[in-house]
Amino acid sequence: MGAYLIDMVIQQVLAVAIGFPFVRAMTSAYVDYIDEAFRVADTGRQPDTLGFYRDILPSILGFYAVVLVVSFAYTVAFLAWKQATPGKLAVGLRVRQRDADGGLPLGCILKRWLVTVACQIAGPLFYLDVLWPLWDDKRQALHEKWAGTNVVRR
């Protein structure tokens, strides 16, 4: 879990830096909406919520695309290069293919990333993926089972 948190902090900092125009646009939309809510509060009217959603949706989608690209590049590059992300390296872990020696094939790396992202998007599945190693006899998360990988101590 510590490795995951380290990696998430690094990825989010990168995503915010790269996607700053989207973050600025989202912040501006929120500020404008709150300002409008205060302006119309005395009149008894409601702020233009539909307009707010229309203003903010492109920025949310754009930023989410940046997050996905950063996550993909970060995960694939580090697992292909070092068989570990910086977070895993910091806590002394590596990822290996379950039934083979050597580096990780690209297929395994892509499967791990896809299942991880799918679990994060699906909300409750994220918790199931993270907690699965607690009762699994091989201590594998769901994304590791599907990709045929294990996280091991260096």
pTM: predicted TM-score of the whole model, two decimal places: 0.86
154 confidence band (pLDDT: 50, 70, 90): confident
For the stretch 124-150, pLDDT in tens is: 888 998 898 899 888 888 899 999 898
**DSSP per position, the chain:** -HHHHHHHHHHHHHHHHHTHHHHHHHHHHHHHHHHHHHHHHTTTPPP-HHHHHHHHHHHHHHHHHHHHHHHHHHHHHHHHHHSS-HHHHHTTEEEEETT--SSPPHHHHHHHHHHHHHHHHTTHHHHHHHHGGGT-TT---HHHHHHTEEEEE-
Domain ranges of the chain: 1-65, 92-154
